[in-house]
Amino acid sequence: MRAPDILAALVAVAGLVVVGCNVVSIDQWPCPSGGTTLTYENFGGAFFASYCNSCHSAPDGQRNGAPDDEVFGTLAQIRAHKDLIFINAATTNDAMPPGPDGPPLSERDRLADWLACGAP
């Protein structure tokens, strides 16, 4: 792991420690009864294109600190990282994306439902 990646990982962990008990895990957010109508095609793909992939699917050297092993360009890659994505970006977890232009809570709640239902 490169030094910038280690630093980014440490910052992410430190952020989780600071907010501590305020972080909601995917285990604490059940899939809605009856499932979800959200799919990769009607929600996930656009969400990740809008808020995540400018860093998490960018070429090496253009990832703005996103770790090289956290790539979210495909549904399979998102599913492989769904717990990590949830604690950083779903519902009231707002560590990612950094800055003021992140998704509103309503979209973060939709992300939470979609991930909790297995990211169909």
- CA-nearest of 31, 38, 119 to 76 is 119
Residue written as token pair 């980014």: 8
Rounded to an integer, the average pLDDT of 69-84 is 97
Residue written as token pair 């070429």: 59
- CA-nearest of 2, 23, 3, 1 to 84 is 23
Give the helix/strand (H/E) hosting 51: helix 45-51
Task: Please state at what angle helix 82-89 crosses helix 105-116, rounded to 10 degrees.
Answer: 160
**pLDDT higher than threshold 70 for residue 89:** yes
Count of CB atoms situated within 10 Å of the CB of 47: 21
**pLDDT higher than threshold 80 for residue 19:** no
**5-14: long-range contacts, CB 8 A cutoff, minimum separation 24:** 5/65, 5/67, 5/68, 7/65, 8/65, 8/66, 8/67, 9/67, 11/65, 12/88, 12/95
Rounded to an integer, the average pLDDT of 6-16 is 44
Q: Where are the domains of the chain?
A: 3-116
Share above pLDDT 70 across residues of the chain, in percent, rounded to a whole number? 82
What pLDDT shows up at residue 105? 97
* Digit-coded pLDDT (tens) for 29-58: 999 999 999 999 999 999 999 999 999 999
